[in-house]
Structures are given as structure tokens and as C-alpha cells.
Chain A
């Protein structure tokens, strides 16, 4: 089996976000590999280490030049090679899934791993949209995964709890916190990664145009009252808070 694992680059959670014109401007912002995708890279490696018949693990990134860093990280973690569709175009998840599906098909992948939610678009759509384009089943919000032959078993979160599942490859799996603890690349592996193939693809060959246009962006912060209550006397503080919640905020009876 070949595994295709997606990596995206997103602003660090603690980084300051700025707006330029009508859009978020990431110039000068610290960017990191999306944590959700990192679980996917790690899981691909673990499946191979656990004895699944993994022929090759390929990492894919679609985005600006700086995404090379995310791919190098994936290579240093242990993936075999990487493909970078270098573009400054911002693709929404449904448009991006066209590229993912084409690469998965061209590579003959039978398992695609995608992060459960992108930390930039706050979207959960990429896995499902890619699965639909490929005509494959999907398992989202997975927190346990096993592959034996072409049988996929595991557990994933659903609306009201979680489910154990069984499915047959090919499939798309979305990954999340709790699935594993991603490894840190070691220095020797970082050195080795420099020699691994990082192929550049021309976005034009995929014939994809975005279907959603961003027309405005605002950093919105709700004005908060910031009323601080002295906590030295717990009884008095509790009483005061309750009064405020009842009479000022009017949120409890």
C-alpha cells in the first residue's frame, strides 16, 4: 500500500495575525506544520513500523514556497518523498480536494491521511471532499487506527461519543489529537531528509480554480467588561459574582 499524507503550513497558534487590505497577511508570521496534519504523518510512519505492508509514504503540500519547510519536516520525520504543488493561489477545501485526488490517483495511493481541521481556514472539509472525488469511504476524527491487509479498523469520534469501525482500503482518514504523539525529527534524519526527493509540480497541470472567494477579513474582538472581583473573601466574592450574573448580565435566574 502507498500512503499519501497531506501537510499544510499554518500560523503558529500563538502568532499574531494581521490584516492587510481585505485579507489576512501572513508575511512575517511564524508558520508551522499544521498540528492536525502532523498526526497524519506520524500515523503513516507508525502503520509501517507496526508491520502494515507500506510500500511508500508520500507527503503532499499545496501552497507557497515556504511550504517546503513543512515538507522537509515530514521528510525528516521519516516519509519517503514529497510533492510540492507550489502556488500562491488560495484554494478552498473543495477546490484543493481536486489536487489531492489527482495526486492520490497518479501515485496509486490507497490510504490518504488528512488533518481533521485546518488551523487557518478552520475547515473540516478536505478529507471528505477528497474521499468523494476518489469515490472512497472516509473516516473522520480518528483516534485509533490499524491496517491489516486491506482492512482498516479503529475508533473515531462522532456527534455523541465515539464508534469503532471496520472498512476496506482504499479510504481517506482524518487525523486529530489523541491518535498519537508526533516524533521530533532527529539531526541525522534532518540531514538524510535533505537528500530525499522533493518534487515540484506546476499547479496548472491540475486545472483547478478556487470556488470560494475571500472578500473581507476582520479581527474581531468583543468588548469585554473585564470586571474584576476581589477573591480574598470567597463568600463575598461568590455573592458579588452571582448578583452581577443575575442583575447585570441577566444570564441566570
Chain B
């Protein structure tokens, strides 16, 4: 079987889970597509999962109330072994890429990380992935009785519900006690659409000028067109914006339909996080900014003058 560990948040199945179902079904690997739902109070998530999978395994346990890498790795490993999975798919989120390597080591399986393409080649599994700060696409191959894969968010289309919902089964797990104690949590909540889920993202760089300008222009435009908000590393380092908004090598990788970069110069590390966006729009007063080299639409001009006009026009 192909085992997918479902990603979910706030009682809802994440888009990344639907994308993993597409990756699994298109991979040419045989067997039922099984979603494993880990958490506490996840009945609703399991129902959503059943709509797209052949079967759903639900571990609704107090020990799974809070994510922990060692606990999640133990859970996925047990189910993979008991269910004799030959392929284990895990989301390419920060947490997914944190516990998936532990699963691979526990299963003594090769690990294909953050893949954007997946296909069976006889007994082997071939994957495509970005390397060298997303400047290169490499094809990699692994074989073995079990292979662990993390799937890059946004790389596959979300699966549509199947004609027949999959069966749900409750599973029990023998889980280790977490050894890392969480002593505080700061969740960066935003009323806007999350970066990983956004079709359109408006990102601000240092060229926006100030935190106040960021709020007025970047957030203003995002709100006018229903987009998510991103920031460059320079802006986050300067303390203008929270880390959760950072796009780039050390932040999030995004692949929206449109990426609107305001006052962003386009350093390689930033391009590695957004360079695969379907359409890139750049507004920057520096005509030499590298961002223009990758832009579909560019305006050389002052963000402070062009963006208010843009917000005004978008509202009409």
C-alpha cells in the first residue's frame, strides 16, 4: 500500500494532503492509497480524508494532541510496518521534513526529499527535486522494499473527491514519550490566506521603505486583491515583519499563480523560494534589480506611487 500521513490544521485537511494523493495516484506505484490521520479530535479531518483516499486510518489519541518529531516518526513507522507499505508519503512542510528522515532511518529506507515529480521505474522510484537553491532540477532514484518521500507543497494539483469514500479504521499506537518539552508557543496568526495555500502573494522588500509603508502598500494591495502577504529576509531581519511571512531559502517556498514583488531586489536566496511562481510581477525603482530578469511583468517605478494607484484601480 501507499501510506500518506495526512497534514491538517485547525480541524481541516490541508491542501498539501490532497496534493500528496495526486502524487501517489500518479506515481505508478501499486496498491491502495491509505491516509493516516494523526491527532486528537480529528473526526472531521478523517471524514474529509475518506473522500479522497481508498482507506483512512485514524489515530485519535491524547498523545498526538501536540506535534512532536519523535512521536510522529514512531506513529508513521508503526503503521508503515504493520500495513506493509512500500511507499510512505509525508508533507514537505517544515514539520514533515523534520520527522520524515527519522521514519526513513527507522525503516532503513531511502529517502526522497521535497519532490516535485514521482514515477515508478520498475522496482525503483524516480523523483524530481530542486537543488542548489532551486537553480537545478535533479532526477533521483531509489529502490528498496520501502521508500520514504516528502512532497513539496504546491507541486501537484489537489486530488478531487473519489466516487466512493474510503473506509475509516481506528488504529492504536504504541508511542514514545516526547523528550522535547515545549515551554511556550507563539503562533503567528493572520486573517489572510496562508502563504502555502495562496493563489496570489504580495511580497514586500526593503525597497518598500518602512514598516508603515509595508502595512499601507503590501498589506493594502494584498487585501484589495485577496492575496497572501510575504516578506524578504532583509525585511524580517529588520524586524518589520514576522518570520512566518519570510519567503526564500531560509523561509517558505511558494509557487502561487501570481507573485507580486514590491521593492524586492531578487537575491538568489529569495528567488529560490519563489522562482517557480506561475507569474511574477516586479515593481522596483532600480531598473537593474535582478528580480526583473525573472519577471513576467515589470514596472520600474516607485512603490509609493504605483501601489496606491494599483490599490485604487483594483478596488474599482
Q: Give A175 Cβ to nearest chain B Cβ, in Å.
A: 11
The residue that B111 contacts in the complex, of A177, A212, A232, with Cβ under 8 A, is A212
- Contact call B310/A241, Cβ cutoff below 8 A: yes
| A30 beta carbon closer than 8 Å to chain B | no
A237 contacts the other chain (CB 8 A): yes
Decide: B268 and A14 in contact? CB cutoff 8 A. yes
Assess whether B111 is in contact with A252, with CB atoms less than 8 Å apart.
no
A52: interface (CB < 8 Å): no
Max chain A Cβ within 10 angstroms of own Cβ: one of B70, B189, B267? B70
Q: Is the CB of B301 within 8 A of A140?
A: no
Q: Which residues of the other chain, B, contact A228 by a CB distance below 8 angstroms?
A: 292, 297-300
B9 within 8 A of A: yes
**Cβ-defined contact, B136 with A218, below 8 A:** yes
- Taken residue by residue from 79 to 116, chain B's Cβ proximity to chain A (1 for < 8 Å, 0 otherwise) reads as 00000000000000111011111101110001111100
Contact, CB under 8 Å: B93 / A159: yes
CB-CB contacts of A11-33 with B at 8 A, as 1s and 0s?
A: 10110010100001000000000
Q: In the bound complex, what is the Cα–Cα distance between A157 and B242 (angstroms)?
A: 11
Q: Please, which residues of chain A bring their CB within 8 A of the CB of B141?
A: 212-213, 215
Majority DSSP secondary structure for residues of B touching A: mixed
- Quick one: given A131-B102, A177-B250, A235-B309, are A165 and B180 in contact (CB under 8 Å)? yes
Q: Would you list which residues of chain A between 160 and 219 have a CB under 8 Å from chain B?
A: 160-168, 176-178, 211-219
A153 and B299 contact, CB distance less than 8 A: no
Q: How far is the CA of A223 from the CA of B198 in the complex (A)?
A: 23
Q: How many residues on chain B are close to A (CB under 8 Å)?
A: 92
User: Does A63 lie at the interface of the complex (its beta carbon under 8 Å from any beta carbon of B)?
Assistant: no
Contact yes or no, A139 B180, CB < 8 A: yes
B-side contacts of A51, CB under 8 Å: none
A124 and B133 in contact (CB under 8 A), knowing A129-B111, A224-B294, A237-B299? no
B258→A157 contact, CB < 8 A: no
Q: With a CB–CB cut-off of 8 A, which chain B residues contact A222?
A: 275-276, 294
Residue A80 lies at the interface, judged by CB distance under 8 Å to chain B: no
> Are B126 and A242 within 8 A (Cβ)?
no
Q: A24-B136, A213-B140 are in contact. Are A122 and B131 (CB under 8 A)?
A: yes
Known contacts: A124-B97, A249-B279. The answer to whether A17 contacts B297 by CB under 8 A is no
- Across-interface contacts of B257 in A (CB, < 8 A): 249, 251
Interface pair A17/B132, CB less than 8 Å apart: yes
With a CB–CB cut-off of 8 A, which chain A residues contact B283?
231
CA distance A163 to B181 in the complex (A): 10
**CB pair B111 A93 closer than 8 Å:** yes
Q: Which residue of B lies closest to A129 (CB)?
A: B101
Complex CA–CA separation, A141 to B249 (angstroms)? 12
7 smallest A-B Cβ distances: which pairs?
A231-B301, A238-B309, A164-B184, A216-B139, A211-B110, A251-B258, A128-B101
Interface residues, chain A, CB within 8 Å of chain B? 11, 13-14, 17, 19, 24, 36, 92-94, 97, 116-117, 119-126, 128-129, 131-133, 137-141, 153, 155, 157-168, 176-178, 211-220, 222, 224-232, 234-235, 237-239, 241-242, 244-245, 249, 251-252
